[in-house]
A = this chain, B = another copy of it.
Amino acid sequence: MDLDQLLILLKKKGYKTTPQRKTILTVLLEQKDNLLTAQGINLECIKHKKNTNITTIYRNLELLNEFDLVHKVISDDGTAHYKLKCIENHHHHLICKGCGKMEVIDYCPIKILENLSESKSFTLTDHKLELYGYCKQCN
């Protein structure tokens, strides 16, 4: 999925194409599987010399989240990190308890735990699996 496809998708839903929206999506597309905070996106926008108000960034991220277009991960310090869903090929993250660095691992949950430590030279201490969906009442 590229910039134009995303914009067309939003346009179909009644959302306009604006320079700010373009910049934010461009930044997210560039980052691929990297997780970025709202502040991080802001900095990237500045690098592109396309200053974008932080409020606008939040509002666009919320919009993207509504249509399930971004993956939102909340880190241990409570800050939200985002990346586009459309470019991810289903994988997960290694999060270093030392430096907080988030690294991508390409495989899916099942059976990765054992052969992970050596292949990434990452010492596993803990893991969190959170499953989302709808419970009996909400279904």
Contact = CB atoms under 8 A, between A and B. Distances in A.
Interface in A32-85: 72-76, 78-80
A127 B91 CA distance: 10
Interface string A98-137: 1101010100011101001000111111111111111111
A132 B117 CA distance: 11
A94 interface: yes
Residue among A98, A129, A138 with most chain B CB within 10 A:
A129
A95 interface: yes
A9 interface: no
Residue among A103, A113, A128 with most chain B CB within 10 A:
A128
A137 B74 contact: no
Question: How many copies of this chain are found per oligomer?
Answer: 2
Contacts of A130: 73, 92-93, 95, 127-130
Nearest to A135: B96
Contacts of A121: 135-136, 139
Given A110-B113, A113-B110, A127 B126 contact: no
A53 to B, nearest CB: 21
B139 A133 contact: no
Interface of A: 72-76, 78-80, 92-99, 101, 103, 105, 109-111, 113, 116, 120-139
Nearest 6 pairs of A and B residues by beta carbon: A98-B138, A126-B132, A124-B133, A96-B135, A125-B133, A92-B129
